[in-house]
Structure 1
Amino acid sequence: MARQLQQRAERTRAVVLRAAAEVFATDGFRGARTADIIARAGVTKGAVYFHFSSKEELAQAVIAAHREEGARLAEAVAAQGATPLRTLINLSYAYARLIKENPIHLAGVRLVAEGAFGSPTLEAFTDWDLVLVKLLDEAKDRGELRGDLEAQECARFINSAFYGTQILSFIYSRREDLLQRLDMMWQVLLNGLLPEGRSVILLSQAG
């Protein structure tokens, strides 16, 4: 019985978290109302407050889930065994698809952009800086990256370029053209990253 109650509580929490993500993705933190989240989740007010004490706590939980899923995605893409630079490129496309399709990530990037509540906002960026630095260091060791470039500086620039790309895609098309904009981003960036004489075939909407 205790196990059944725990499983039910976990399912309820997941339903509430997804409903919160859908509302935050549409309305942002300031525009979202707890009443709308409760209605979308289809649960009682008490069920929501059993798991989350406030709208702020709900938003923090959405960002935490966004970061955790992002970390799992990075591990899954790395496990495919591609070269470091190809892994980095593939990861950007896989992450873009999550932003387009997954409400946790739709809400996560919006909440991070709004910067409405504390340190997790910064950590969401530094997570990706660390992943990119590792891949770029490996790419440089393999001769995939120009020898005069610093991995940390390149990581920060790529992170900035990707974030700006998805924000502009949201503004112009509600991210309908995100993968196409990502193609353009990489076509430009690779001209400055690759050693002379090397090239990477960019598969449109690569996986």
Structure 2
Amino acid sequence: MTEHLDRRTHSTTRRPQPRGLRTRAKILAAAATRFDTEGYSLASINDILAGAETTKGAMYFHFASKEAMAQQLASDWSTAVHKAFSAAAGEPLIQQMTTVFRSLARQLESDTNLRAGLKLTLEPSIDGAHQSYMQWVDETSELVDRANEAGDISDTDAAHRLAWNLCAGFTGAVQASAVLREDVNLSTRVEDVLDAHISAIAAPARNHHRIRDLGDAIRNTKLATELIITAGDPCL
């Protein structure tokens, strides 16, 4: 599995005080807002500082550069993904996938930092950011493989592409929702993505179980009839 993005963004080894932590959070939130609405390349340091209501000196105490802020946000997204998978552990495998993606969608609707972090994982100019995206795909892929081994989904080419398609579809929904501003929320869009991919692939397995259950019911009915005949039921 791809390792989590882990980069030092603090310019010194001193432990920040509570006031410093608040300043750092404000800078990161201001950067996330700019990255989310304008994109990484268009976001300027001056605009971020204005949004955070702080100085360049304060910023450089916490972050060596604009890229360092972006790397931190991408890393925070990676952490959120890992927590979502951990929280869903123990559920049926297919349910785990839907739980994870639903949880992430709900978080992104209200958390600008995480939303920006996801978008930044696909920014080619940020060193190492794509590792956070690949970690998400890898964790999803492991779950898909386990579901395949358990017989919950069919062993098809589409199933082997499921992890990539789910992450790409989720990301596309996030990007489109921000640009189009439609009346359909992100969670609903993500539900559509899940239905389009997981339901189609899981259907053969579910149909198999329904056919098996139907066969059991037919055999049980036949057995019951034979027992009645053997017993000489006067109604027959």
Unaligned 5+ segments in structure 2 are: 1-13, 208-236
How far residue 86 of structure 1 moved from its aligned partner, in angstroms, is 0.5
1:69 aligns with 2:76: no
Q: Residues 100-139 of structure 1: matches in 2 within 5 Å?
A: 100-121=109-130, 123-139=131-147
More displaced 10-residue stretch of structure 1: 135-144 or 109-118: 109-118
Equivalent residue for 1:168? 176
Q: What RMSD in Å do the two structures reach over aligned CA positions? A: 2.6
Matching of residues 1-207 of structure 1 within 5 Å: 6-78=17-89, 81-121=90-130, 123-148=131-156, 152-173=160-181, 176-196=184-204, 198=206
Does the C-alpha gap of structure 1 residues 129 and 151 become closer, same or farther in structure 2, counting only changes over 3 Å?
farther
Whether contact under 8 Å (1:162, 1:182) holds in the other structure is yes
Is the CA contact (8 Å cut-off) linking 2:105 and 2:187 kept in structure 1?
Answer: yes
Question: Alignment length, in residue pairs?
Answer: 194
Which protein is bigger by CA-based radius of gyration? 2
CA contact (8 A) 1:25 1:110 kept: yes
CA distance in 1, matches of 2:156, 2:121: 33
Identity fraction in percent: 28
1:120 alignment partner AA = A
Q: 1:196, 1:151 → 2: CA distance?
A: 12
Distance 1:17 1:99 in 2: 16
Change (3 A) 1:175 1:92: farther
1:88 CA displacement:
0.4
| Closer, same or farther: CA 127–197 of 1 in aligned 2, 3 Å | closer
How does the TM-score come out when normalised to structure 1? 0.80
Partner amino acid, structure 1, of 2:181: S
Q: TM-score, with normalisation over the residues of structure 2?
A: 0.71
The verdict on how the C-alpha distance between 1:27 and 1:150 changes in structure 2, with shifts beyond 3 A counting, is closer
Ranges of 4+ aligned residues in structure 1 off by more than 6 Å:
none
CA distance in 2, matches of 1:174, 1:33: 28
Structure 1, unmatched stretches of 5+, are: 200-207
Change (3 A) 1:28 1:174: farther
Deviation at 1:144, TM superposition (A): 1.4
Deviation at 1:152, TM superposition (A): 4.4
Against the structure 1 CA distance between its residues 174 and 108, is the aligned structure 2 distance closer, same or farther, given a 3 Å change threshold? farther
Of residues 16-25 and 146-155 in structure 1, the stretch that sits farther from structure 2 once superposed is 146-155
Contact 2:78 2:133 in 1 (8 A): no
What SS does the aligned partner of 1:189 have?
helix
Distance between the aligned counterparts of 1:72 and 1:174, measured in 2? 29
